[in-house]
A and B are shown apart, each in its own frame.
Chain A
Amino acid sequence: MLKRIRALMIKEFLALLKDKRSRVVVFVPPILQLLVFGYAATFDLSRIPFAVYNEDTGAAARDLVARFSASPNFRQVAVFTHEEELARQVDAKRVLLVLHIGHEFSRELLRGRPGPVQIIVDGRNSNTAAILLNYVNTIVAAFNVDWQQRTGGAAALASLEFRAWFNPNLLSRWFIVPGIVGLLTLVVTTLVTALSVAREREQGTFDQLLVTPFRPGEILLGKALPGFIIGLFEATLIILLATLWFQIPLRGSLVTLYVGLLCFLISTVGMGLMISSLAVT
């Protein structure tokens, strides 16, 4: 029985790998995708185009604007003097954020009262907008602390000490790449197994396979194992790339990771086979 499964597996590998294009298509794209997505998939924003609509001539307003321009997250692209211009540029997506300082801002601050600042963000991507507001809050908080120190006001009552466990710098890449490992493994394994039966059906060789002395269980195993092995190999490659190239820490045990990976592969291979046995082409 083992011999027969082995023969089937060899046949599967040959069917998959004898063609140069199939070979390339199984191994190269997942690696390329990991590289591209590893760099692309980040929630950290940089060089976001923003504009200033400053109606205040005071020093405090100038200071606040300078803090925005100096931030690596923002890039000042325009200065507005009219409301209509603002709407047009935001609509056209030329600026994602507008810093609007009313003409009373510096005066109110000097009187010891809160000076209102309006921030307009493009909410078409609500996620990006929320992250932008976070950056804005950080800048304004720093401005407030400095202002209080300069004017001799009371220090802030509660100071927040922030500590992120497991990902101290909150790099989104550290959170995205491990997920991509799973996604890519899923796509490759499902495709390899799902198309293996479909290919036989299409070429009319599935009936030939059915009349061979193979038992259904053996055919199933012979079809499942190659996808399983390719998935395992591919996942290993991707994990290596994630840890060595992207420097994602792998703090748990490799054994646990692989036990999880094996379970995952069994379920994806099973799903792939089910898809291919249900679908005719």
Chain B
Amino acid sequence: MTPATMREVLVGKLVPYFILGMGGMSLSVGMGVWLFGVPLRGSLWVLFAAAALFLLAALGMGLLISTVSKNQFVAGQLAIITTFLPAFILSGYIFDTGSMPRIVQWLTHVLAASYFVAILQTVFLAGTVWSVILPNALALLLMAAFFLGVSRRKLRKRLE
């Protein structure tokens, strides 16, 4: 047992990945704007605030996956399955979610990526439209709080 508290361990584990994620995000935004000429009509600050929320939710989910799965194989499988293809297909990035069957539409609501995609499309192309950004940001915030909270409790239980 290290003298670090559970909170310190968690924060210490998350911060490097958070910085890494924000770095990747900045790189993609920069390349999108300067290399591919995508317009960025909304506020850059809103974009980064939303990205931070999304990263917290994503990190929380990753943390939860790695606490519930015993080995790296299961964790890797789960992580890839719950993120990679769903982010493409169920997030509204390519396919219109409104035209999907009801049950699939419910699934899109538990996916952090769908909220982030809505914010991204709006901030880049339409501008800072609060009526789109606020509800989606709130959803991201709730998901982040849920995932981080649950994985914190799980971790504590296991130690005792």
A residues bordering B, Cβ < 8 Å? 16, 19, 21-22, 25-26, 29-30, 33, 36-37, 39-49, 88, 91-93, 96, 123-125, 127-128, 183-184, 187, 191, 195, 198-199, 202
Q: Which residue of A lies closest to B75 (CB)?
A: A25
What is the minimal beta-carbon distance from A11 to any residue of chain B, in angstroms? 15
Does B132 lie within 8 Å of A91, measured CB to CB? yes
From DSSP, what is the main secondary structure of chain A's interface residues? helix
What is the minimal beta-carbon distance from B84 to any residue of chain A, in angstroms? 7
From DSSP, what is the main secondary structure of chain B's interface residues? helix
What is the minimal beta-carbon distance from A168 to any residue of chain B, in angstroms? 21
Residues of A within 8 A of B92 (CB): 125
Render B89-133 as a binary contact track against A, CB cut-off 8 A, 1 for contact: 110101110111101100110000000001001100111010110
A64, B118: Cα distance in complex, Å: 31
Does A125 lie within 8 Å of B96, measured CB to CB? yes
Does B89 lie within 8 Å of A40, measured CB to CB? yes
Does A202 lie within 8 Å of B72, measured CB to CB? yes
A54, B89: Cα distance in complex, Å: 36
What is the minimal beta-carbon distance from B97 to any residue of chain A, in angstroms? 8
Q: What are 16 sample pairs from A and B whose C-beta atoms fall under 8 A apart?
A: A19-B71, A25-B77, A25-B78, A26-B77, A37-B90, A39-B100, A42-B100, A43-B95, A48-B99, A91-B126, A91-B132, A93-B132, A124-B122, A124-B126, A125-B96, A199-B72
A184, B81: Cα distance in complex, Å: 9
